[in-house]
Amino acid sequence: MSSDFGSNLTGVDLEQLCADTIRVLAMDAVQAANSGHPGMPMGTADLAHVLWTRALRLDPEDPRWIGRDRFVLSAGHGSMLLYSLLHLAGFDLPLEELKRFRQLGSRTPGHPENFETPGVETTTGPLGQGISNAVGMALAERHLCARFPAAADLLAHRTYVLASDGDLMEGVSAEACSLAGHLGLGKLVVLWDDNHISIDGSTDLAFTEDVLARFAAYGWRTTRVDGHDQQAVAAALDEAQRTTDRPWLIACRTIIGKGSPHKADTAGVHGSPLGVEELEATKKAMGWPLDPFLVPDAVRTRWAQRREEWKSARAAWDSGWERLRGEHPETAAAIEGWFSGEAPDLDAAEWPRFEPGSKIATRAASGKVLNALARAVPNLIGGSADLTGSNKTNIDGEGILSREDYAPRNLRFGVREHAMGAILNGMALHGALIPYGGTFLVFSDYCRPSLRLAALMSLRTVWVMTHDSIFLGEDGPTHQPVEHLAALCAIPGLRVIRPGDANETAVAWRMALEHRGPTVLSLTRQGLPTLDRSETADAEEAMRGGYVLWERGGAPEALLIASGSELHVALDVARTLHREDGRAVRVVSLPCWEVFEEQDAEYRDRVLPPACGARVSLEAAATFGWERYTGPLGLRLGLDRFGASAPAGALAEHFGLAPGQVLDRVRSYLARTL
């Protein structure tokens, strides 16, 4: 049957026909791929159609339009719902791409990826991340409207989320939604696909709480509707648009796999194709032709009408923007600059200089650099997971962002590391802002899912992670990171920078802000000597990830390679080896493996000459990974066990990392090797 199906049928409900089209496209794509999740798109097609055709404001011809509403499919496994909507809405996602669902090189991957598909706001799949990203988007919207009151009407938008049972089970969403309620993010609207089914079966197996009561306790407004009653969904959305003092949770009771005669309302339709027989049975039960990927002409016409509405809204917005340019040109230019995504101009910053002879923790140096940068980079915003004083993440002279005042740049995330990471990502995804967040390095374990997604999406986020070794001391092994640097270095696209003194810390911040991707700054609790740069290479050399800090005696017999708090120890040991033992020694500062690996081979070989086989690495952390620089016969000094509770000096002695012990171990190694 041709695409005129529905146009000549008496009594056809056009809105239902549109929803059924979404269902069928999802069913067909999953079946063609023989892989995917048809149940969620089939169950949420009605409410999604209402949201996109009656509430959501978009511009398919300009997916990154500043004034658009944000839509987050937190339940990313239901990606064919989103791809169907994007196709029907007129985004650059032709039907052929839906037919290539989950195939190599297609723009319809198994889970939505914001860097692959136009109109996808964030990469989702790990449950809980999308809804938590959305909190960051809603927070960014409130902050920008407060920062630019003359443009508030143009910057204002809503953030809509479609979330699953699984999203609301994940702990990260609880943390993020709690903060959203505290901050009164009233432009945030979550539609919960309350279908009572998860992979294992009925959600009753593990999830019996009163979700609406929980969200009400968070400070949200809540309501419950039949997710298949389009008028009820529309009414709930209208109410959410009128009442913006608190975020909204709309519980939409749905039937997973709706329309399937034998698999609806079962776990069997969650993550597997319907199968040829059930697909045909479903289409027959719906009164739908068996033609695959059928989009009725009447549905295309309905969506064309919606696109005209969006064009009118965009034209009105453009007129307002032109008025802003005329009346407030500096404001318009600032907003455009922030949304450009370009790295900030850091030359105007009054960079602090740290004089030799002083002793300062790199976390304290970072705080000074941050405040200098905050004066030069007005869209830098962030805070800490309840460790502001320890992480040194406060911007002096700024207040704390709150529901009474969204303009300040200091955020307080509370003890919510997991949510902080996802919220930072959401703010970066929203555009215009450069967010940073602080915690202890050991708690990077709580941030890791968001760190990984930030790297996957190339988001410019900065993670200030302090107390970066056993030398934080008496708090003991629960707080002393050991394996964390190696684990973070394993994430592709994530820069992990462990500066060796205050001036390298300033360089690390520059590297972070100029990088189109996430950066972890690994910083000390304890004071470190500020190196005398008249006797060593300039700290700016750290921009290349690794560099020759100091050398004496000609072609090096031995290389000492170090980062962070061990750099000055390596330097002292090398000086002694040259002065007392007559050794030709080179010290290499290697604060960032990833950036060093980006340098050409000639530079890397110049810093670490292949002919020099006597190599020592020194880092107060797991030695895992250092063999790439020391070789299999090198000496790797570190900590391949958990720490202990004691003062820092006692720990250094106990684990053989005190300067005198390091010297003895290096001497013994060189005696065996040279």
Collapsed DSSP state (helix, strand, coil) of residue 597: helix
Whether the Cβ atoms of residue 119 and residue 61 lie closer than 8 Å to each other: no
Q: Can you list the pairs that 303-308 forms with residues at least 24 positions away whose Cβ atoms lie under 8 Å? A: 303/18, 303/53, 303/88, 303/89, 303/90, 306/52, 306/53, 306/89, 307/60, 307/89, 307/90
- CA distances (Å), 562 to each of 121, 186, 537, 567, 590, in order? 40, 49, 15, 5, 6
Of 417, 557, 566, 619, catalytic: 417
Handedness of CA 124, 130, 133, 134 (dihedral sign): positive
Which residue(s) pair with 547 in the sheet? 589
Q: What share of the chain is helix, strand, coil (3-state, %, to 5)?
A: 45, 15, 40
**628: Cβ–Cβ under 8 A, 6 or more apart, which residues?**
none
Does the annotation mark 239 as catalytic? no
List the strands of the sheet with 495-497, edge to edge: 410-412, 380-384, 434-440, 462-466, 519-522, 495-497
How many Å apart are CA 175 and CA 441, to the nearest integer?
20
Residue of 482, 514, 495 whose CA lies nearest to 455: 495
CA of residue 4 relative to chain centroid, distance: 44
Rounded to a whole number, what is the largest CA-CA distance in the chain?
99
Q: What is the DSSP string of 415-475?
A: S-HHHHHHHHHHHHHHSS-EEEEEEEGGGHHHHHHHHHHHHHHT---EEEEE--SGGG-TT
Q: Which amino acid is at 610?
A: P
Three-state secondary structure call for residue 574 = helix
Q: Which amino acid is at 340?
A: S
Which tokens sit at 439?
């915690």
- Structure tokens that stand for 203 in this block: 């959600």
CA angle (388 as vertex; 387, 391 as ends), nearest 5: 80
- How buried is 274 (Cβ within 10 angstroms: 0-12 exposed, 13-18 middle, 19+ buried)? buried
Q: Which residues are catalytic?
A: 417
